[in-house]
A and B are shown apart, each in its own frame.
Chain A
Amino acid sequence: MTAIPLNHVLILACILFSIGFIGVIIRKNTLFILMSLEIMLNAVGVAFIGAGSVWQQADGQIMFILILSLAAAEVAIGLALLIRMQRRYQSLDIDKLSEMRG
C-alpha cells in the first residue's frame, strides 16, 4: 500500500495538465507554447508514475521513459522549426503563420 493516495496524484497531474493547456491556448509566442507542451507531457508522466506506484508495476515507468523520448524528439523538431521561423519572419508570433494558405 502506497503512502500517497492515487486521487491526489491524479489531481496534481490534472492541475499541471490544465496549466500547460491554458499556456498553449493563451500564449502567442511559439517558444512559450513549446514550454507549455513540455508541462503537459510532464503531467502525463506524473499520472503514469502514480498509477504504476499504486499497483506496484514497472509499466508506468516504462511509459514515462517512452514519453521522455517523445518529448526529446518533439523539442528537437520544434526548436528547429522555431529557428526557421525566426529566420523567415524575424518573429516568433504564432499569428504570423496564419498567412500560409494550404
Chain B
Amino acid sequence: MTIELMFYLAGAVAVLASLKVVTGKNTIHALLYLVVSLLAVAVCFYLMGAPFAAGLEVIVYAGAILVLFVFSVMLFNLNHDEVLFARQSQGLGFWAGPVVLAMCLLALLVNIIQSAEIQDKLTVNLVDAKQVGILLYGPYLLAVEIASFLLLAGLIAGYHYARPEGPGSHGGRS
C-alpha cells in the first residue's frame, strides 16, 4: 500500500466523520465522530511528513479541546434540547460507526509501523520538531507572545462568562 493510497483512505475517513458531525442529532455521538475526524487528520499530517503537528493534533485537539467539549456538555446539560428531540442510544449500536472508522485508522498506523519501505519514504520529506522549534523561537517569537496573550484573554473571558450569576457574584450583570 503506497503513501498516497493511505492518505486518501485517511482523508475519506476524515470527510465521513465530519459529515456525521454536521448531520448528527445526538451531541455526544457527534463529539465522538469529531474525535475520529481529528485523529484521521492527524494521520494525514503524519503521512505528509509532519509528525510533530500530528502529535500536537492528537494531544491538544483530540485530547484537550474535545475533552473540554465533552465535560461542559455533560456537566452543564448542554445537550438538554437534543435529548427531547433525538432518539437516544439503545445498547452499543451507536458506537459501531466511530469504532469502525477508528479501526480503519488503526489499520493504517499498523501498516505504517510494520513496513520499513514506507518508513524510508516518510523520512524523505520530513520536517521535524527541531526545525519548528528553531523557527518558532527565532523569527516567530512575536507571534508566540501574541498567541500567549490570546490564551490569557480566552482564560479571563471564559472565567467571566461562565461565572454563576446572581447575588453571590461580585459585580456581574444579573
Interface residues in chain A, defined as those with a beta carbon under 8 Å from any beta carbon in chain B:
1-4, 8-9, 12, 15-16, 19-20, 22-23, 26-27, 29, 31-32, 34-36, 38-39, 42, 45-46, 49-50, 52-53, 56-62, 64-66, 68-77, 79-84, 86-87, 90-93
Residues of A within 8 A of B27 (CB): 29, 31-32
Q: A66 contacts which of B30, B81, B143 (Cβ < 8 Å)?
A: B143
Q: In the complex the two chains form, is B48's CB within 8 Å of A4's CB?
A: yes
Judge whether A38 and B154 touch: CB under 8 Å: no
| B48–A49 CB distance below 8 A | yes
Total interface residues on B, CB under 8 Å, equals 69
- Cβ of B11 < 8 Å from any Cβ of A? yes
Contact of A12 among B11, B69, B155 (CB under 8 A): B11
Smallest Cβ-Cβ distance to B37: which chain A residue: A39
B113 within 8 A of A: no
Across the interface, do A73 and B50 meet the contact criterion of CB distance under 8 Å? no
A42 → chain B closest CB, angstroms: 6
Instruction: Determine the chain A residues whose CB is within 8 A of the CB of B68 once the complex forms.
Output: 75-76, 79
Q: Is the CB of A73 within 8 A of B153?
A: yes
Main secondary structure of the interface of B (DSSP, over half): helix
The CA of A75 and the CA of B70, in the complex, are separated in Å by 12
Contact of B151 among A26, A46, A69 (CB under 8 A): A69
Residues of B within 8 A of A32 (CB): 21-22, 24, 27, 30
Q: What is the minimal beta-carbon distance from B101 to any residue of chain A, in angstroms?
A: 15
Contact B14 A61 (CB under 8 A): no
CA distance A59 to B134 in the complex (A): 11
Closest to B152 in A: A73
